[in-house]
Structures are given as structure tokens and as C-alpha cells.
Amino acid sequence: MVDFGTHDGVRIERDGALLRVTLANPQARNAQSPATWRRLAAIPDLLTPDVRAVILSGEGVSFSAGLDRRMLTPEGIPGEESLLSLATYDGPRMEDFIRAAQGAFTWWRQVPQITVALVQGHAIGAGFQLALACDILIVADDAKLAMRETSLGLVPDLGGTAPLVSRVGYNRALEICARGRYVEADEAVRLGIAIDHVHAEDWDDYVEAFLAPIVAALPGAVSELKALLDGAGTSPDQLARERAAQMRRLVELRALMTGGG
């Protein structure tokens, strides 16, 4: 195990072919701040080709309670920009702030590694969006997922809207977000938000078995598949993308079988 340390409420560890990312501020139910987002956004720098999967979890009783509510007070968080003061600036400055925050959420689907979120307890707002950012979401029996932004006069803006709609459809996504209600474990699986619900104490064995065939496969095949499926719903010519991906796979397989000749 290689420990990259715990900074800004995020612990990062390398465990063989896995990179483990843990939200590690349980006293605040892993509430998120701009410092949290900067730390998360820097993780792709650690993703060497021999890292095959990234596992995201939260320490304590909740995955993440979402935005640190101090960000919505005039005082804000020491050393950080309050959202209320940010609203006094011009459009480009507000946009730059939100774009930087989004950088902590968007890369989970873009990197070649499989990313897996393990969610227990509450995943609210930014917490729900962070879990949705991953390729795979697995919930514990006590999971409660919610988009509560409208109750604060806001909207989800950290990349969570597209993956939610792609998993549950527009009507259900609108209902979940507009009402701000909790989606519990059974419903999360039924709707397709999560692939399974598992007792939290069984996560290690479950994840090991789940990832075993992924880690055993050739890295290029898994990364090509991930990119292929991710764009399947929006590509104007998915068949062409399949052809191009398979051609790259055949070239790599031949090189492996012939020693590069």
C-alpha cells in the first residue's frame, strides 16, 4: 500500500492495481469545499497505466453530506470564496469558479480506468453528484441519495444532471431533483442509479470479486470499451466508432502475439 496522505479531507492510497480515494472528514459527514474539489481534481496525475480502477468511498456514517454550508454564508470558509460574495462578481469570474469546481467531478468518466463509488448513509447534493460521476455506483443498505439544491434556491451544477438523466430518464430525474427527495438503496438499484446494494461490511469482498475480471483483462480493451459505451447514446455513427476501436484492438493484439513485429 502506498499512502499519498490525507489533505483537504481526502485520503489517497495506492493498493496494487487500485487507487483508493476516501472522503476523510467524517466529523462533518464529508461535506465538500473548494479545497476538497482541488484535491479531487488533481487525482488524474496519479493515474499511471498500471492503475486499473479507482475506488471512491466516504469515511464514517455518510458518504458525503454535500456542500459545506458555510459556503452559503457571508463569512464563508477561511481562505475560500463564499458563494454569496462570488455572486457579486461579473459573469466570467463566477463561471470560472464553477468550471474549476466541475473539474473534480468530470474526470471520473473520462479516464481509461474504471471508477467505482461505494455509498453509505447520506449522499446529498454534491455528494450525490460525485457518486454519479463514477462509472459504477454501489450502495449500502442504509444509503440515502438526494439532490437538495432547489431547496437552497440553486440547481445541480457539478456534472450530476447528465448521468442522472442517462440512468433514470428525464421524467424521473426531474421528479427526484425538483422534489429533493431521498432515493434509498432498493429504489436506487431498481431505477438503475446503482448496480447493486451490499452490506457495507461486505464491500471489500464484493469489490474484489467485481473487479477481478476487469483487472485480468488487457487494459486497452477495458478502456476502449468504456469510451465506446460512454458515447453510444450521443454518437452520430456508433458503428464507425466500433470499427475504429476494434481495429486498434487488433493491431495491439497482433503486436502482443508477435512481440511487436
Enumerate the active-site residues: 149
Nearest 10 degrees: Cα torsion 185, 30, 136, 221: -170
Using alpha carbons, select from 170, 169, 173 the residue that is nearest to residue 149: 173
